[in-house]
């Protein structure tokens, strides 16, 4: 949100808004209205596009400047223990369940992932399907959980995926890193509505991309 960005960079709102507009024009940043408070807008940096542009610019200057993507399975070499990450959304039926499965799979054991919701519902059939068909992961035995199940546990990172759950997220012991990924809810139709399945595919792809960058951040923090 703009007011959060102004606090982080220490610049006036009109200047921050101006530069956000330029970044949006360049398709480096996108905006989405909050599903909790429609007056707020969440801005998302397209790190994949930025990485591609940086790599292309480097390669154009000299082949030795071509950027190489980080290897997810090498995200935290030498880590003393897995990094505990809790993913939260409202229903714990789709976004957070998919994020949990993807984090465990993509990290190669670096991340110990969990998920929960503020108003748990049954795991969505499309979430099960997209994980099975496109990522080879089985969610069929997963059970939705209330975030109170984890309220006394320690995590290294707590990542909210839903604007509504961000508003009610409790404080967890140990002051974990907190991130908000404002991701639209793909479960907007009936459970068996084939028209909504592409939304689950898009959500899963966005989560996989974001988790890849999370792994790169973990690697950067790892002791050498």
Whether the predicted pLDDT of 224 surpasses 70: no
Whether the predicted pLDDT of 221 surpasses 80: no
Please state, for a pLDDT cut of 70, what percent of the chain lies above it. 87
- Report pLDDT digits (tens) over 123-142: 999 999 999 999 999 999 99
Whether the predicted pLDDT of 36 surpasses 80: no
- Report pLDDT digits (tens) over 73-107: 544 444 558 999 999 999 999 999 999 999 999 99
Question: For position 188, what pLDDT does the model report?
Answer: 79
Residues carrying an active site annotation: 89, 162, 169
Token pair of 182, please?
A: 């404002």
CATH of domain 72-221: 3.40.50.2300
Whether the predicted pLDDT of 31 surpasses 90: no
Residue boundaries of the structural domains of the chain:
2-65, 72-221
């Amino acid at each position: 949100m703009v007011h959060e960005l102004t606090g982080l960079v220490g610049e006036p709102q009109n200047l921050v808004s101006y530069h956000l507009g330029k970044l949006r024009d360049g398709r480096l940043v996108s905006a989405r209205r909050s599903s909790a408070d429609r007056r707020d807008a969440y801005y998302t940096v397209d790190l994949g596009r930025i990485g591609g542009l940086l790599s292309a610019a480097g390669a154009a200057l000299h082949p030795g400047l071509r950027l190489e993507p980080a290897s997810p399975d090498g995200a935290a070499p030498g880590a003393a223990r897995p990094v505990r990450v809790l993913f939260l959304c409202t229903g714990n039926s789709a976004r957070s369940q998919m994020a949990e499965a993807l984090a465990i799979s993509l990290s190669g054991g670096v991340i110990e992932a969990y998920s929960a919701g503020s108003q748990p519902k049954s795991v969505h059939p499309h979430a099960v399907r997209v994980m099975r068909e496109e990522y080879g992961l089985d969610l069929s035995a997963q059970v939705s959980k209330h975030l109170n199940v984890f309220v006394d546990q320690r995590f290294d990172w707590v990542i909210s995926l839903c604007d509504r759950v961000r508003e009610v997220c409790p404080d967890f012991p140990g002051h974990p890193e907190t991130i908000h990924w404002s991701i639209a809810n793909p479960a907007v139709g009936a459970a068996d509505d084939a028209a909504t399945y592409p939304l689950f595919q898009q959500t899963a792809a966005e989560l996989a991309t974001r988790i890849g960058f999370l792994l790169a951040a973990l690697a950067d923090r790892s002791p050498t």
